[in-house]
Amino acid sequence: MAKNIKTKELTEWNYAPAPESKSIANIAPRYELFIDGGFVKPSSGRYFSTINPATEEKLSEIAEANENDVDKAVKAARKAFTIWSKIPAKERAKYLYRIARMIQERTREFAVIETLDGGKPIKESRDFDVPLAANHFFYYAGWADKLEYAFPGKNPKPLGVAGQIIPWNFPLLMAAWKIAPALACGNTVVLKPAETTSLTALKLAELFRDADLPAGVVNIVTGAGKTGAAIVNHPGIDKIAFTGSTQVGKIIQKAIAGTNKKATLELGGKAANIIFEDAPIDQAVEGVINGIFFNQGHVCCAGSRLFVQESVFSEVIKKLKHRMKSLQVGNPLDKNTDVGAINSKEQYQTICKYLEYGVKDGAEIFFHSCELPKKGYWVRPTLFLNVAQSHRIAQEEIFGPVLAVQTFRTIAEGLEKANNTPFGLSAGVWTDKGSKIFNLTTKLRAGVVWANTYNKFDPTSPFGGYKESGFGREGGLHGLMPYLTF
């Protein structure tokens, strides 16, 4: 009987399927725009499809907003600002707290929809995205009536109407990051989610309506780049908050130059994860895995460049390859899945091009040899060895599950290589020497530096970058400042 057992079954773990039920997700066949407290049809009468990237199945139709719709949303937000900004701060806090509790109550539904629409594993949606989104509303509910204590002697006042544009990698979380501090400070909002992942933002709109949030305080207009451009260029917008690519960030900066609009831009990244010879290697390898393969690498602060001190290089790579082989790739709704589907066909094609660039430039490729589903957009967890600083995979943001590995000998060399990038969003340091950590954190040109961990987020901690990774901070006390005038 043992002769009939395949070798693969003896050497690999075989997990029994543990799929989350889709029945909890109440997805309407069509979604309208959320303006002035209600859902309204788009002026253009046009809609676009949103699909499940794991199956390529259509989930729903989303309204496409044009300039007229954006104008309606901005006017509704301006009208609501005269009321919302004058509501006692402790009352605004109650709304934020109510929203946070309602997100918690609907955690499972939000998690399933986020996974269906975006392709990320359900355990990430369930354990990271949704809880952290709720926590941001809780946190800023606490600040709403304490702004004078946060900024003593400065008499903080709300700006007005905030135009907010969010990406497709963390749709619900990015909405919470931006909406919560804006409302806490007394501003009103016009939000545009990414066209490929609009569903959780629209479900959030339902929640705002059910929470009796005053009409016009939050307006959600859906669409692609033209809709975002209409928000950026609208004269009734007082502040732009954008998370997305560096290329689009530069376009926004040019568009608002010469205006009085304030802005925060959280853009691309090419983070360095640095492992020293005195690091806890097993812990560091796990941190590297989390740093690059979390959310299929669709993370602006992903640790996509790994620098390993030469003396431990062989050990690190051996353990890294072994750990990669244990990653479960497949159905995002399965609770065993570690790496889900690529968010869209367009992003899938982009990642595939960079894989070709890496091989063409002479880097050595290694990837997880797992079997991929026949439908959907999938990329195996991949790493490149023998990478040079000049390689495109070492310089440009891939935004996928692709790791570029380099070596270094001295601290100075490691720092020079880590900082040799136009980006400056995040970095990771792995060592058992506290003095080395503090030395590196003062010299790494990155907005966030993790020590002996990676991808740890908290609403109380500010997040943002330097150089071409943008400016301004979101989260923490610092996250209030862009929404206030003093």
Tell me which of 32, 124, 266, 474 is the catalytic residue: 266
Strands, E assignment, 286-336? 305-309
Summarize pLDDT for 326-368 with one digit per residue, the tens: 999 999 999 999 999 999 999 999 999 999 999 999 999 999 8
Hunting for tokens 């959030």 — which residue is that? 204
Q: Which of 32, 124, 300, 474 is catalytic?
A: 300
Give whole-number Cα distances, 340 to 331, 365, 374, 424, in Å: 6, 21, 13, 27
Which residues make beta-bridge pairs with 40?
Answer: 33
What are the contacts of 350-357 at 24+ separation with CB within 8 A? 350/398, 350/399, 350/400, 351/379, 351/398, 351/399, 351/400, 351/401, 351/402, 352/379, 354/392, 354/393, 354/396, 354/398, 354/400, 354/402, 355/379, 355/382, 355/402, 357/391, 357/392, 357/393
pLDDT of residue 428: 98
Cα-atom radius of gyration of the chain, to the nearest Å? 23
Place of tokens 């496409």: 64
Pairing assessment for the beta strands 272-275 and 47-52 based on DSSP bridges = unpaired
Give phi and psi for 372, each to the nearest 5.
-100, 150
Query: Tokens standing for 216?
Result: 């016009």
Q: How confident is the model at residue 14 (pLDDT cuts 50, 70, 90)?
A: confident
Q: How many residues does the chain have?
A: 486
- The CA-atom distances, in angstroms, between 368 and each of 223, 314, 382, 480 are 36, 18, 7, 43
> Which residues have a Cβ under 8 Å from the Cβ of 405 and sit 6 or more positions away?
306, 307, 308, 317, 383, 384, 385, 387
Is the confidence at residue 20, as pLDDT, over 60? Answer: yes
Active site residue 266: yes
At 54, is the pLDDT very low, low, confident or very high (cuts 50, 70, 90)?
A: very high
Q: How far is CA 232 from the centre of its chain?
A: 21
Sorted by where each starts, the structural domains of the chain and their CATH numbers stand as: 30-267+467-485 (3.40.605.10), 272-451 (3.40.309.10)
Query: CA dist 9 to 3, 38, 39, 339, 370, Å?
Result: 12, 55, 52, 21, 13
pLDDT for 3 equals: 37
DSSP state for residue 129 in the 8-state scheme: I
The string of pLDDT tens digits covering residues 221-260 is 999 999 999 999 999 999 999 999 999 999 999 999 999 9
**pLDDT score recorded for residue 15:** 87
Query: What average pLDDT does this structure show over 7-16?
Result: 59
DSSP letters, 457-483, are --TTS-B--SGGGEE--BSTGGGGGGG
Pairing mode, strands 57-63 and 157-158: unpaired
Q: List the beta strands (DSSP E) in 193-245.
A: 218-220, 239-243
The pLDDT assigned to 1 comes to 35
- Residue 11 host element (H or E): helix 7-11
Backbone angles phi, psi at 151, to 5 degrees: -130, 75
DSSP state of 456: -
pLDDT confidence bin for 391, thresholds 50/70/90: very high
pLDDT digits (tens, 9 = 90+) for 402-431: 999 999 999 999 999 999 999 999 999 999
- Contacts of 389 by beta carbon, 8 Å cutoff, 6+ apart: 395, 406, 417, 420
Instruction: Give the strand order in the sheet containing 47-52.
Output: 30-31, 57-63, 47-52
Predicted model pTM: 0.95
DSSP 8-state symbol, 373: P
Q: Which CA distances in Å does 154 have to 146, 216, 262, 401, 485?
A: 13, 28, 18, 45, 9
